[in-house]
Amino acid sequence: MPGRLPAGEQDGLRDVLGRNEVLVDVLGRAAELGLPGWYLTAGCLFQTVWNVVTGRPPGHGIKDYDLFYFDDTDLSWAAEDAVIRAGREVFAGVPAEVEIRNEARVHLWYERKFGVPCPPYGSTEAAIDSFAATACCLGVRLEAGGEWAVYAPHGLADVFGLVLRPNPVLAPREVYEAKAARWKGEWPELTVLPWSG
């Protein structure tokens, strides 16, 4: 699949992410839910890398742990809410917020929240492809036998290089710039590239 990393790069990423005990715990518990097309994604991953690279505690500045899945068989809020409630039980005792979202439903609420329309996604990977910066486009899940599957459509150079590069697929400029300003305040070592969309 495009965006899948070679095994060697996956191992390096796994070593770094493995230093965040909360992340490893969430990843293992997420696998128990058996959600279709699921990934642990976004800030909890790239911010763990930033923390390790800059010598901070691995969980520094991580606001929540995003768990995405894709189920287009039922687009109702009730179906997503049932998964969220099941997740509360699975993640009980985890010292962090785990936010669960069905990416098949994003187009139903995105424009109200962000002011631009979002075409329906065809997969969780398509949702990850649309994050505001290339370093954010990263997903990890556990597969049968405990193997890690890593989705990184832009590779890992920006993640490990502490570079924020705009990814103007969907998120508007204001979203990129607001996130960049917040993250630069938390990780001043970041290089923030200007919006070019």
Tens-binned pLDDT, residue by residue, of the chain (197 aa): 434 444 455 568 998 999 999 999 999 999 999 999 999 999 999 999 999 989 999 999 999 999 999 999 999 999 999 999 999 999 999 999 999 999 999 999 888 888 888 899 999 999 999 999 999 999 999 988 888 899 999 999 899 999 999 988 877 788 899 999 999 999 999 999 998 75
Question: The domain spanning residue 68 has which CATH number?
Answer: 3.30.460
DSSP 28: H
Residue of 186, 169, 91 lying closest to 132 (CA atoms): 169
The answer to whether residue 38 sits within a structural domain is yes
The answer to whether residue 16 sits within a structural domain is yes
The answer to whether residue 173 sits within a structural domain is no
DSSP 123: S
The answer to whether residue 181 sits within a structural domain is no
Q: Which domain holds residue 74?
A: 7-163
pTM tops 0.75: yes
Domain count, the chain: 1
List of E strands, the chain? 39-41, 65-69, 98-102, 139-142, 148-151, 163-164, 191-192
The answer to whether residue 103 sits within a structural domain is yes
The answer to whether residue 17 sits within a structural domain is yes
Residue of 175, 181, 176 lying closest to 165 (CA atoms): 176
The answer to whether residue 72 sits within a structural domain is yes
Query: Burial code of 73-105, b = ≥16 C-beta within 10 A, e = fewer?
Result: eeeeeeebeebbeebeebbeeeebebebbbbbb
The answer to whether residue 193 sits within a structural domain is no
